[in-house]
Amino acid sequence: MRLFAALPVPDEIAEPLLGLQHGVPGARWRPRENFHITLCFFGDVSDPAIAKELDEELSRINAPALHLELGEIGVFGGREPRALWIGFAQNPALEELADACKQAAQRLGIKIGRKSYLPHITLAYCRGTLDVDAARFMERTAGFIAPEFEVDSFALYRSHLGTDPARYVPQAHYILNSF
Ligand code: 2AM
């Protein structure tokens, strides 16, 4: 099973993000139910015993609830855009939580990619989108602002591929300490 840990996106943030999703040829806009902020992608965990231990490790993480603030819109892929996303203002508590998830997985021998953590919400995956159209999207959305928001739990999700959009199904929820 493909597993990842992520934060949910509350409705008050999802709504304005849905309002941005238009006007880019080739963009396959992510539906609201796919919005999340990945903390750590664990890849394919084929052994159910390891998946259970991962759940136990994640449930032991002791971290505070998060105050989050959206940041800039970005594009993965440069000349050949692959994804449009929105990032976050720098947030050490968010990075620490992502790191705790990564360490939990590594203790179980799950290999985590070496890319540095870039928290984001994917707005669209792109197929055949021109870089000029992605750049225009960034210009058009440059003034976008949304209120700060709080997230008081994270979840272990299972990703079911094979459909478009993929289906992300929460397997377990973990409470973050309240302020
Ligand atoms: P994305 O938002 O940039 O697409 C489920 O696949 C989630 O895990 C997605 O949010 C995806 O990021 C994220 N993820 C991180 N690393 C990944 C990888 N190597 N392969 C697939 N998804 C990955």
Ligand 1 in reach of 38 Cβ (< 6 A) = yes
**pLDDT tens per residue, range 120-176:** 999 999 999 999 999 999 999 999 999 999 999 999 999 999 888 899 999 999 999
Range of the domain at 66: 2-175
Ligand 1 in reach of 122 Cβ (< 6 A) = yes
Taking a C-beta distance cutoff of 8 angstroms, is the pair 97, 38 a contact?
Answer: no
- Does the pLDDT value for residue 32 go beyond 90? yes
Instruction: Please give the model's pTM, rounded to 2 decimal places.
Output: 0.95
Ligand 1 in reach of 92 Cβ (< 6 A) = no
- Does the pLDDT value for residue 108 go beyond 70? yes
- Does the pLDDT value for residue 179 go beyond 80? no
Ligand 1 in reach of 154 Cβ (< 6 A) = no
Ligand 1 in reach of 129 Cβ (< 6 A) = no
- CATH at 124: 3.90.1140.10
- Contacts by 15-20, CB closer than 8 A, 24 or more apart: 16/144, 16/146, 17/86, 17/121, 17/123, 17/146, 20/73, 20/123, 20/141, 20/144
Number of domains in the chain: 1
Q: What percent of the chain has pLDDT over 70?
A: 99
Dist. CA 104 → ligand 1 center (Å): 18
Q: Whose CA is nearest to atom 12 of ligand 1?
A: 38
